[in-house]
Amino acid sequence: MRFIIYGVGAIGGALAVDLNRNGYEVVGIARGAQLEALRRDGLRLRTPEGDLHARFDTVPHPGDVEFRRDDVILLAMKSQHTEDALLALRDAGVRQQSIVCVQNGVANERMALRYFDHVLGAMLMMPVTFVTPGEVIASGTPKRGVLDIGTFPSGTDARADMICEALNASGYAAYAHEDVMRAKYGKLLLNLVNGIDAVLGKTDKPSKYIRMAREEALAVYEKAGIAYDDVGEDNPRRKALMQFGEVPGAPRIGSSAAQSLVRGAGSIEIDFLNGEIALLGRKYGVPTPVNIFFAELCQKFVHGGKQPGSLDEEGVDALFLAWVAEGF
């Protein structure tokens, strides 16, 4: 079993290093400065236990990979790039290989199932930071991350078990889940902080907007009949297996959305996080003004080249009140 990791950023980078160092064949698909750094120097993974380093084959496009029937393709790009990635995989001849959506949000699996027969969802809890090409910071300890993996839309199979086995051997805690989307909807609740964190920056004071965004999401879930798992910090399995560890000298950037702003990535995943709640709210007739507002504001941050923390909460209050007054 070979792992093709499509999107060697924060999540994909950590998985690539750990799987490679534990004897699994890895091929990365990356782009831009990250591709150049990986080809030149390999990938450095900074962890609470020390630095790790790995070199593995990396290519710029799926068309550069000679796919094997038993390849496992891990999608680790941001959700706004998934559709293009899936089409590139199809055009490169992928047919029977397993596609695993190791991504935030709940839209990727459905996109993948349009093109491929065997799609798995993966809910991953792993604190990682990627802002410098060739370097990923992973602060989870003692396990690097905790995963639930299952076939989409439901069930498990032998391939899910094999992927869990490989990840468990590589420093993760991975479990087959009969209804993996329950776990992913639980993770989506947590990821609603991403848009708020991208605007306000990383602070020790919780924002009232986090509570409001999650209250909207819970109202949507109730109306839509969406079941979810509690995968937050109080989850017993997570508390026992993975805590935030200290990585000396590591920057405190915040969420993956905030990291996209810091890198000047030119796009942000927010339409598949806060924007997912906005979509469901419109579909089921539940107002979601906070999630809509932050989805729109984050896009303005991207197009304006703004950094996380460019607004404080008082500044957001003024913008939000004006936005509501305009009849959002």
Query: What percent of the chain shows pLDDT beyond 70?
Result: 100
Q: How far is CA 204 from the centre of its chain?
A: 22
Dihedral of CA 303/108/24/2: which sign? Answer: negative
Q: For 273-297, what is the mean pLDDT? A: 98
Query: pLDDT at position 177, please?
Result: 98
Contacts of 96 (CB under 8 A, 6+ apart): 69, 117, 118
Can you tell me the distance from the alpha carbon of 61 to that of 85, in angstroms, rounded to the nearest whole number? 9
Contacts of 107 (CB under 8 A, 6+ apart): 79, 82, 272, 276
pLDDT of residue 202: 80
For position 162, what pLDDT does the model report? 98
DSSP state of 207: P
CATH of domain 3-325: 3.40.50.720
Angle between helical axes of 289-304 and 208-224 (0-180°, round to 10) = 120
pLDDT at res. 93: 97
Determine the Cα–Cα distance for residues 185 and 152; give it in Å rounded to an integer: 13
How far is the C-alpha of 95 from the C-alpha of 92, rounded, in Å? 9
- Rounded to an integer, the average pLDDT of 263-284 is 97
Which residue from 160, 168, 82, 68 is spatially nearest to 118, judged by alpha carbons? 160
The helix (H) or strand (E) run that includes residue 129 is strand 128-132
pLDDT score of 110 more than 80 = yes
Tell me the mean pLDDT in the region 253-274. 94
Mean pLDDT of 159-165: 98
Specify whether the CB–CB gap between 100 and 12 falls below 8 A.
no
Q: Which residue has the higher pLDDT, 234 or 287?
A: 287
Q: Is the pLDDT of residue 279 over 80?
A: yes
Class of residue 269 by CB neighbours under 10 A (exposed 0-12, middle 13-18, buried 19+): buried
Q: Which residue bears the tokens 């809509």?
A: 292
Question: What pLDDT is stored for residue 253 in this prediction?
Answer: 87
pLDDT of residue 58: 98
As a 3-state breakdown, the chain gives helix, strand, coil percent values, each rounded to 5, of: 45, 20, 35
What is the pLDDT averaged over residues 51-75? 98
Q: How confident is the model at residue 264 (pLDDT cuts 50, 70, 90)?
A: very high
The pLDDT value recorded for residue 204 is 72
Which pLDDT tens digit goes with each residue over 204-259? 778 999 999 999 999 999 999 999 999 988 899 999 999 999 999 998 788 999 99
Mean pLDDT within 81-94: 98
Q: Where are the domains of the chain?
A: 3-325
What CA–CA distances, in Å, run from 74 to 27, 99, 188, 323? 10, 6, 19, 39
Q: What is the mean pLDDT of the chain?
A: 96
Q: Is residue 308 a contact partner of residue 254, using CB atoms and an 8 Å limit?
A: yes
Q: Which structure tokens are listed for 44?
A: 């450095």
d(CA 196, CA 189): 13
Q: Is the pLDDT of residue 327 over 90?
A: no
Whether the link from the prior residue into 153 is cis, omega within 30° of 0, is yes
pLDDT at site 233:
84
Residue 51: strand pairing partners? 46
CA distance 202 to 36: 29
